[in-house]
Amino acid sequence: MREHSQKDEEVEINMTPMLDIVFIMLIFFIVTATFIKEAGVEVDKPFAVTAEPKEQASILIAVTENDEIWINRRKVDLKSLRANIEKLHAENPQGTVVVQADKRAKAGLMIAVTEAVNASGVPRVAISTETQK
């Protein structure tokens, strides 16, 4: 074992570089925090080859196999969906909406949901897909 110097208590660690790094990380995480409103259920998303990543997605709406609509961890009715989207969209006007439809969900319901999104004034809506198997 190496012998340590007895002067250890006098030496003070210079905190400044660590503080710099911690602050930069803090700023990074504050800036990137988007607080996505997750749907709250897992759905089996269909695959698509030509899908593009959606960076701005802030509201996720899930349409499950049993034709339930989930938004912000709550199950909602198709009629009250529009009001819910409007409320969530007002919190983050930059964000877009992504509809996560289950493979076995009814196409008509999926389209009705995208119509509701359009009607609530969100300019961009996308259907969520899986890019790779």
Partner 1 sequence: MRKFSKVEEEAEINMTPMLDIVFIMLIFFIVTASFVRESGLDVNKPPPSPDQPKNDEKNILIQIDANNRVFVNLRPVDISSVRANVERLHAENPKAVVVIQPAHDAHAEMVVRAYDQAREAGVYNVSIAESRE
Residues that bind partner 1 (CB under 8 A): 12, 15, 19, 22-23, 25-26, 29-30, 32-36, 38, 46-54, 57, 60, 63, 98-99, 101-111, 114-115, 118, 124-131
Q: Which residues contact 61 (CB under 8 A, 6 or more apart)?
A: 39, 69, 70, 71, 81, 85, 97, 98, 99, 100, 113, 117
How much is the CA Rg of the chain, to the nearest whole Å? 23
> At its nearest, how many Å lie between partner 1 and the CB of residue 129?
5
> At its nearest, how many Å lie between partner 1 and the CB of residue 71?
15
When the beta carbons of 7 and 93 are compared against partner 1, the nearer one is 7
> At its nearest, how many Å lie between partner 1 and the CB of residue 84?
19
- Report the half-sphere exposure of 25 (CA within 13 A, side-chain side): 6
Q: Extract the tokens encoding 120.
A: 């609530």
> At its nearest, how many Å lie between partner 1 and the CB of residue 108?
3
Q: Beta-carbon neighbour count of residue 115 at 10 Å?
A: 14
When the beta carbons of 25 and 83 are compared against partner 1, the nearer one is 25
